[in-house]
Amino acid sequence: MALQCGIVGLPNVGKSTLFNCLSNAKAQSANFPFCTIDPNVGVISVPDERLIKLSEIDHPQRVIPATVEIVDIAGLVKGASKGEGLGNKFLANIRETDAIIHVLRCFDDDNVVHVDGSVNPVRDKEIIDAELQLKDLETVENRLNKVQKQAQTGGDKMAKKLVDILLQYKEVLEQGKPARIVKLNNKEEEQLAADLFLLTNKPVLYVCNVDENSALSGNPYVGQVKEAIKDEGADLLLLAAKTESEIAELEEYEERQLFLQEIGLEESGVVRLIKAAYHLLDLQTYFTTGADESRAWTFHRGQKAPQCAGIIHTDFEKGFIRAEVIKYEDYVRFGSETACREAGKIAIEGKEYIVQDGDILHFRFNV
């Protein structure tokens, strides 16, 4: 399930430093790999303490974590929506991602020159927002011109619904707001909206890049960002990219943990970012575990058992019979599948079962 989060931001806000931290496996934990697809795309393992615990119980030959792709997208300048700078490439790269990690500079440093001459994260946010909104408005207006004719002449019900959706988007975009604040009524409308591939309809996580002293409680810049995004339905994360790069340079896992303790953090900002990106994509994890392999499988929240079986192999979904489900807490408590079975802690679920985060599953199928 190759889902991508794109890191965006103006030049010199810390997004490339952050991407480089993510690309260094030492930055996350004792054993979370990273591989490069091309110079600006990396596959990053999602830290999950549950998988580590399962591997300690079963001692498998292999341990395979869930992953998420992170894309370092080229810097943006004013006028990108009209093709200025790397504008067309920038916007095309965002369109291909499933979610956006928007890095904002929230620190003062005379040695790091800001592209606009001063530190103002809300202004920076508005620059990128404006370019994305202008491009979306162009998309909406072009589509509206075509669909309105179909709705008026052909009596096409779907065309009429799409016109209503497009008009809602047009209204909010003209107000300088993102498309994602539009509330749709049902799955049908959500699919029509998804087919528009609007840039500002993607879920977004704002990352405030702060100095080390502000990594825990923030600073006035962070307060300004919180106020600016309060109506967007977006998440916010504090992270000190410079500090993260220092953590990444430490050779031993224990050294990195000691460093974190000294600055009052339980886990690195990079780990928190990876977890946040995973949830931003509305992903959850189920597990398979045994002597051969303990593995985390990624699925979309709300998927049913046959769909989740199909993530392992399409034949599992086609010939799905049932799923044997053990809750993670029970597996840890009793210490094995056999012990869970003897304690009556294995549930037999059918095709309508909605898989829950942390479920340990064994699928029965017949092809």
State the pLDDT at residue 75.
62
- Provide the token pair at 168: 């809602």
- Encode pLDDT of 47-76 as tens digits: 899 999 999 999 999 999 998 888 888 666
Positive or negative, the CA dihedral 55, 58, 62, 67 is negative
Highest mean pLDDT among 2-6, 144-148, 203-207: 203-207
State the pLDDT at residue 80.
52
The more confident residue out of 223 and 148 is 223
- Encode pLDDT of 279-328 as tens digits: 888 899 999 999 999 999 999 999 999 999 999 999 999 999 999 999 99
* Max CA separation in the chain (angstroms): 69
> Could you tell me the fold of the domain covering 129-200?
DNA polymerase; domain 1 (1.10.150)
Place of tokens 């993510």: 22
Separation between Cα atoms, residue 280 and residue 208, nearest integer Å? 16
Domain range summary for the chain, segments of one domain joined by +:
4-47+61-113+203-280, 129-200, 302-365
pLDDT band at 152 (very low <50, low <70, confident <90, very high): confident
- Provide the token pair at 226: 């919180």
The answer on pLDDT for 99 being more than 80 is yes
- Encode pLDDT of 24-37 as tens digits: 643 333 334 444 44
- Provide the token pair at 208: 């405030």
- Provide the token pair at 326: 């053990």
- What are phi and psi for residue 206, nearest 5 degrees? -90, 125
- Encode pLDDT of 198-218 as tens digits: 999 999 999 999 998 898 889
Average pLDDT, integer, range 79-100: 69
State the pLDDT at residue 25.
43
Instruction: Select from 1, 14, 32, 39 the least CA-distant residue to 239.
Output: 14
Buried/exposed 224-248: b ≥16 CB within 10 Å, e otherwise: bbeebbeebebebbbbbbbbbbebb
Q: What pTM does this model have?
A: 0.83
Residue ranges of the annotated binding site for ATP are: 12-17
DSSP state of 90: H
Q: Beta-carbon neighbour count of residue 147 at 10 Å?
A: 19
> Could you tell me the fold of the domain covering 302-365?
Ubiquitin-like (UB roll) (3.10.20)
Residue ranges of the annotated binding site are: 12-17
State the pLDDT at residue 32.
42
Q: From the DSSP assignment, how many helices (H) and strands (E) are in the chain?
A: 14, 13
4-47+61-113+203-280 homologous superfamily: P-loop containing nucleotide triphosphate hydrolases (3.40.50.300)
Average model confidence (pLDDT) for the chain?
86
Q: What separation in angstroms does the CA of 136 have from each of 86, 95, 133, 342?
A: 17, 11, 5, 57
State the pLDDT at residue 279.
87
The answer on pLDDT for 43 being more than 50 is yes
Percent of the chain with pLDDT over 90: 46
pLDDT band at 228 (very low <50, low <70, confident <90, very high): very high
